[in-house]
Amino acid sequence: MTRSASFKGAGYVVPLLVVMFIAFNVPIAYMLGLSFWEKGGGFTLEHYAGLFKAPVYLRVLANTMRIALIATLANVLIGYPLALWMRGLGSRGRMVAVALVVLPFWVSLLVRTYAWIVVLGNGGLVNRGLQWLGLTDAPVAFLYNELGVTIGMANVLLPFLVLPLFAAMIRIDDRLLQAAASMGAPPRTIFWKVFFPLTLPALAAGTLLVFILCLGFYVTPAILGGGRVPMISNLLDTLINQIPRWEQASAISTLLLIATLLIFAAYRWFDRKASA
């Protein structure tokens, strides 16, 4: 490639890089700077010190981590068998199954979240069914608590785990499984010794993606939690739009960003160890 062709190619790439830098990196840099800046006073660590002086911030962070972990585990327990079942379908069945998994992306997140109120509310389908079967005498409180938030988050984020898992599963050569079977390995051994290790990188990547999305989720926890389930996203909304305390919100966001980067670094480390 000649030098003139290289410059010409760079001319197409540079504008996109500038847009990406302005759209993604500048807001993050501004947030980081704001967390270390005191109006009229310059550099300060007071905003971070305030997080430890008011334990409520740390409790909300811990609560967010716990709910995100539960929702992620629920996605793994549901998503892995679902992806495995989709792999066992024929070509036409796989197309239908993938379409059903992708279908929620075509519906507004707000609509999908409010639909859970219809399903899980005191007069919703689930409570009516339980009372009709005689299993409960009064409506069960599925909503406006951590249970409702976890159910909603797991439902919304399930495709982010199923799709990469399914893509990894269909790439596995069936001849590997047949070779293990021909050597006398039972189905359980074939799954745990051959199939599962091959899907583990995709499972780890999907789990990490779902967990990170759970940490910053706002709409579903705000609606299904009814303001009774404290999470980082709701706290940031309060600090920015109601109080407002932008510097404190920036400090919390920075800590959340650091936690996310540490989780991602740990995943990359384990991935390299597994590939070695």
> The CATH number of the domain where 87 resides is what?
1.10.3720.10
Residue 51 belongs to a domain: no
pLDDT at position 25 is 80
Q: Which domain range does residue 108 map to?
A: 56-275
Does residue 33 belong to any structural domain of this protein?
no
Q: For residue 79, what pLDDT is reported?
A: 93
What's the rounded Cα separation, in Å, for the pair 4 and 7?
5
**Strand-pair partners of 42:** 38
> Coil, strand, or helix at residue 113?
helix
In 73-138, beta strands by DSSP E: none
Beta-carbon count within 10 A of 109 CB: 15
Number of domains in the chain: 1
Given this model, what pLDDT does residue 70 score?
93
Burial label for 218, CB within 10 Å (0-12, 13-18, 19+), is: middle
Report the pLDDT value the prediction gives residue 3, as an integer from 0 to 100.
57
197 within some domain: yes
pLDDT tens for each residue of 109-126:
888 888 888 888 888 888
Residue 34, amino acid? L
pLDDT of residue 75: 94
Q: Does 87 map to a domain?
A: yes
- Please report the pLDDT score of residue 276 as a whole number: 52
- 50 belongs to a structural domain: no
pLDDT at 42: 74
Is the pTM value of this prediction over 0.85? Answer: no
pLDDT at 177: 87
| Structural domain includes residue 85 | yes
- The answer to whether the beta carbons of residues 51 and 58 sit under 8 Å apart is yes
Joined together, the tokens standing for residue 95 give 């197309």
231 contacts: CB under 8 Å, gap ≥ 6 = 60, 63, 64, 67, 149, 217, 221, 225
242 SS3 class: coil
Q: Is residue 169 part of a domain?
A: yes
- Give a yes or no: residue 5 inside a domain: no
Residue in this structure with the two tokens 């898992």, named with its chain if needed: 165
Residue 235 and residue 215 in contact, taking contact as beta carbons nearer than 8 Å: no
HSE, CB side, 13 Å, CA atoms: give it for residue 115: 12
pLDDT tens for the 276 residues of the chain, in order: 555 555 566 667 778 888 888 887 888 788 888 788 777 667 777 878 877 777 888 888 888 989 999 999 999 999 999 999 999 888 899 999 999 998 888 888 888 888 888 888 888 888 888 888 888 888 888 888 888 899 999 989 999 999 989 998 999 888 888 888 888 888 898 889 889 988 988 898 889 889 988 888 888 888 888 878 888 888 888 888 887 788 888 888 888 888 888 888 877 776 666 555
